Amino acid sequence: MRIRTSVPLLAITCGLIVAQPSLAAENDDDTGGHCMLPQGTISLVEKQLYTVVGLTDGNGGIFKPNRMWAAIVDREGHLCSVVKTGDAWPGSRAIAIAKAYTANGFSNDALALSTANLYGATQPGGSLYGLNNSNPFNPRFLEHGSGIGHTVGGVITFGGGVALYVGGKVIGGLGVSGDSACADHAIAYRMRKLAGLGSVPKGQGPNNTDNIIYAASSSPMGFEHPHCFASDLSASGIESVGR
């Protein structure tokens, strides 16, 4: 697959293109092959990662700036892009991909569901218990630099994945991982908002969105998600970015 980048390349190591010391990209804005996203969508979403991980509120997470993997899939589930900032946990690469696949796979033009919205119902006794086993991640693509253009799969039901919308229609999904699940959600949600791809038709979250709903008890139900830390941003705090 042809790879293009809009910034000088400093090194190519093990399939990772290092564009700046803080960012490694496995794919830039290449919409050929098996990635069926509108031209320019990938770079539009990717560049928001720089802005969001550097916000002064730290997105309520563990690290400042946040150390993240971000992955994008198209509507068919093909992996289109994987980027990372800083020394992000290697294991979070697969999680970010799976979150993007999950948010895209369980959202449509009638209802948007973030991966945070899926937490409560997928716990033991919940109506969607077992969902995590429905679309397994293909371990063939665990290696860094692999999987672009393929449907990698994976289902993750905690915060960090949101569907991407244009004109009320899902065009793909965005997943991020590398901090607490609550911070991951905040980063993904804010990236999508800043990219202008968050006009969801309907949601179960606050104000008819797919934003996170924090559980009032230790046993999340329905579309709820547990708190991660005392530093978690509120749903309104997450929405405030870009205002």
Domain ranges in the chain are: 11-239
Considering only residues 7 and 194, tell me which one the structure prediction assigns the higher pLDDT: 194
- Residue 4 is predicted with a pLDDT of 34
What pLDDT was estimated at residue 243?
72
Query: What is the pLDDT at residue 22?
Result: 56
Span 187-208, average pLDDT: 98
The pLDDT, as a whole number, for residue 15 is 36
Number of neighbouring beta carbons within 10 Å of residue 155: 21
**Is the pLDDT confidence value at 119 over 80?**
yes
pLDDT score recorded for residue 33? 58
Residue 3 has pLDDT above 90, yes or no: no
Helix axes 41-53, 181-195, angle to 10 degrees: 130
Specify the CATH number of the domain 11-239: 3.30.450.150
Residue 18 has pLDDT above 80, yes or no: no
Residue 129 predicted with pLDDT over 50? yes
In single-letter form, the type of residue at position 53 comes to V
- Measuring CA to CA, which residue among 88, 86, 7, 78 is closest to residue 43? 7
Q: Say if residues 217 and 225 touch (Cβ distance below 8 Å).
A: no
Q: For residue 97, give the amino acid letter.
A: I
Q: Which pTM was predicted?
A: 0.89
- What is the rounded CA–CA span in Å between residue 206 and residue 180? 21
pLDDT of residue 242: 80
